[in-house]
Amino acid sequence: MFQLKAYFDYWIHAKGRHGTHSPYVYDFLDKCVTSKIPNEVKNEYVLYRKKLLQDKTKITITDLGAGSRKMGNQRMISEIAKNAGSKGKYGRLLYQLSNYYNPSLILELGTSLGLGTFMLAKGNQDTKVVTIEACSTTLQVAKDRLAEHQLRNIEFINSSFQEFLTNEKRVFDVVFIDGDHRGRSLVEQLNLLDSISHDETIFVLDDIRWSEDMYDTWKSIVQNEKYHLSMDLLRMGIIAKRKHQQKEHFIVKF
Ligand SMILES: C[S@@+](CC[C@H](N)C(=O)[O-])C[C@H]1O[C@@H](n2cnc3c(N)ncnc32)[C@H](O)[C@@H]1O
C-alpha cells in the first residue's frame, strides 16, 4: 500500500522539461539525461551484468546496511546482481552524470558487484571514482570483474561508510549514495559529507521509495534548508546545496 501511494504521488506530480522554469533542471533534462551513450559501452555493460547474472558461485556476505528483503547472508553472485545492481535508465544516468558534468572526483557509497562503479568510471576516463564497500568478499568480486574492463580510474576502499566519511579529506563533485537503506543512516551520511562536498556537488540518493522510512527521510531532506535544489526521479533523488539559488523542488518525468 505504501509503495503504491509513493509511486502514485510521483506520477500525478511529475513534469517534463517544458514544465520547469529552472535553467539548471531544464539543462539536466534536455542535455545530461538525453546525452547518448556509445553502443560499445552499452554492450560492454550488458555483457558485464549478464556474466554476473549467470554466475552461480555462492559467497558469504557481510551487510552493514538494511540488507536485502529477500536474501540471507549466503548468496549467489547471480542473486546479488539481480537485486542490488544499478541498471536500466538509472544505470545510464550514472554514466551521463559522470560524462556531462565532468567531475574530477566521484564517491560511490556501496560498491556491491561494481555495476554502478562501471557506469561512473566509463562515463569519464578523466574522473576518479572512489568506491566504498564494507563486505570484503563482494568487493573482491567487483575488483576482479572490473579488472577485465581496463578501467584505471577506480579506487576501491574496503571500509564502513561511517569510518571512511569520518576520516576522508578530499572534496567530491558527485556522490552516489546507494548502500544502507535506512533513513537515519542516510541523514548521518549526508551530515558527514557536508565538509567533503561543495556548493555544486551533486548528491544522488538511490531507493528513495524503498521503504516508508526512506521515503519519509527523502521528504525531510527536500524540506532541509541546506539543499536549495532537489529533484525527484522516482527511484532516485538528486540534491545539491546551490546556496545562491532560491530553494526549489522538482518532481521530474524521468
Ligand atoms: C545496493 S548495493 C550497491 C549497488 C551499487 N552501488 C550498484 O550501483 O551496482 C549496497 C552495498 O552497500 C554495502 N553497504 C551497506 N551499508 C554499508 C555501510 N554502512 N558501509 C559500507 N558498505 C555498506 C552493502 O554491503 C552492499 O554491497
What confidence score (pLDDT) does residue 71 get? 62
The CATH code of domain 2-37+87-251 reads 3.40.50.150
Closest alpha carbon to 162 in 146, 179, 144: 179
Contacts of 38 (CB under 8 A, 6+ apart): none
Ligand 1, atom 27, lies closest to the CA of: 112
Question: Half-sphere exposure of 85 toward its Cβ, with a 13 Å CA cutoff?
Answer: 26
Q: Write down the domain spans for the chain.
A: 2-37+87-251
173 lines ligand 1 (CB under 6 A): no
pLDDT reading at 72 higher than 80: no
189 lines ligand 1 (CB under 6 A): no
179 lines ligand 1 (CB under 6 A): yes
161 lines ligand 1 (CB under 6 A): yes
pLDDT reading at 70 higher than 70: no
131 lines ligand 1 (CB under 6 A): no
What confidence score (pLDDT) does residue 73 get? 84
Query: Residue 63: pLDDT band by 50, 70, 90 thresholds?
Result: confident
Are 243 and 6 a contacting pair, CB within 8 Å?
Answer: no
What confidence score (pLDDT) does residue 18 get? 82
User: 220 C-alpha to center of ligand 1: Å?
Assistant: 23
Query: Residue 167: pLDDT band by 50, 70, 90 thresholds?
Result: very high
Give, to the nearest 10 degrees, the angle between helix 77-84 and helix 39-53: 130
Query: Residue 66: pLDDT band by 50, 70, 90 thresholds?
Result: low
User: 139 C-alpha to center of ligand 1: Å?
Assistant: 10
pTM over 0.85, yes/no? yes
